[in-house]
Amino acid sequence: MSNKKTNKIKTEFQNSGTTDLSNRAFTIPNIICLVRILLITPFVKLFLDAQYEWAALVIILSGLSDCFDGMIARKFNQESELGKILDPLADKLTLLAVGICLCVIEPFFLPVVIILVLKDVLMLIGSSRVVKKGIIVPKAKWYGKLGTVMFYVTVSFIVLVEMMQTSASPVIYIDYETGKWISMVMLCLTAAMMIFAFVMYSITYKQIMREAQESKESSASITE
């Protein structure tokens, strides 16, 4: 087979989503992702010690950094395959930690938290399979980011409700039972959004893997 045809097949295969992982590791977005992972431990300790003001500050900082790391990566051309792994990993570890904390203070959150954690575990497994096959992990879509934003807003509200109960003179006050049910509704909406994101990402992953497989078969048939 001629070099021209070989190069064409390689180009088509790369465009379908398959390439080597980028070697760029120490970028600002990746460092921010690592910081988000490190923030999980102080959040858990502060939350379980009922220091809700500081716990809220930590989770808000984590949420803001989650918003900015993607913006920085795109603006300064610092996107990398490692970043595409670290970003969702930080989200999933944070979700797991927050879910455990919520279940400790209110066991009735458990069913919703199980749904959220199960969804993220399945997505992590799917992403790992995609990476092992040498396929580029798709960029985060709007529905994935919206689900993450809803999650952080919901957690911030839950922490706020807990702060109201322990503060001697809260700026605003919501009855605990009312706050609990509002939190449950917000969690259910967040779970629905994340399940929708999971379905959409699953469709995307299947399409990319199918295109990559078709490219491989096309390349193999030409070389034979």
**Domain total for the chain?**
1
Q: What are phi and psi of 125, to 5 degrees?
A: -65, -45
Q: Give the pLDDT band of residue 44 (cuts 50, 70, 90).
A: very high
Would 7 be classed as within a structural domain?
Answer: no
Distance of alpha carbon 59 from alpha carbon 9, whole angstroms: 47
pLDDT of residue 144: 80
The least confident of 18-22, 81-85, 113-117 is: 18-22
The answer to whether residue 205 is domain-embedded is: yes
8-state DSSP, 140: P
Q: What is the DSSP letter of 7?
A: H
pLDDT (tens digit per residue) in 98-117: 888 888 887 777 877 787 77
Q: Is residue 6 domain-resident?
A: no
In a domain, 208, yes or no: yes
Beta-carbon-side half-sphere exposure of residue 7 (alpha carbons within 13 Å): 3
Q: Per residue in 130-157, pLDDT tens?
A: 767 666 666 677 888 788 788 778 878 8
Query: Distance (Å, rounded) from C-alpha 28 to C-alpha 39?
Result: 16
**98 is a domain residue:** yes
Highest mean pLDDT among 111-125, 175-189, 203-217: 175-189
Backbone dihedral region for residue 18 (phi beyond 0: left; psi -120 to 50: alpha; all else: beta) = beta
Q: Which domain holds residue 115?
A: 21-219
Q: Which pTM does this prediction carry? A: 0.67
For position 222, what pLDDT does the model report?
57
Is the pLDDT confidence value at 71 over 50?
Answer: yes
CATH number at residue 50: 1.20.120.1760
So what's the pLDDT on residue 124? 73
Q: How high is the mean pLDDT of the chain? A: 76
> Is pLDDT of 8 > 50?
no
Q: How far apart are CA 116 and CA 27, in angstroms?
A: 29
In a domain, 3, yes or no: no
Q: Tokens in use for 163?
A: 């702060």
Tell me what percent of the residues of the chain surpass a pLDDT of 90: 6
> Would you say residue 16 lies in a domain?
no
Tokens representing 43?
A: 């959040």
On whether residue 187 sits in a domain, the answer given is yes
Enter the tokens of residue 51: 């220091």
Buried-exposed string 127-140: b where 16+ CB fall within 10 A, e elsewhere: beebeeeebbbbeb
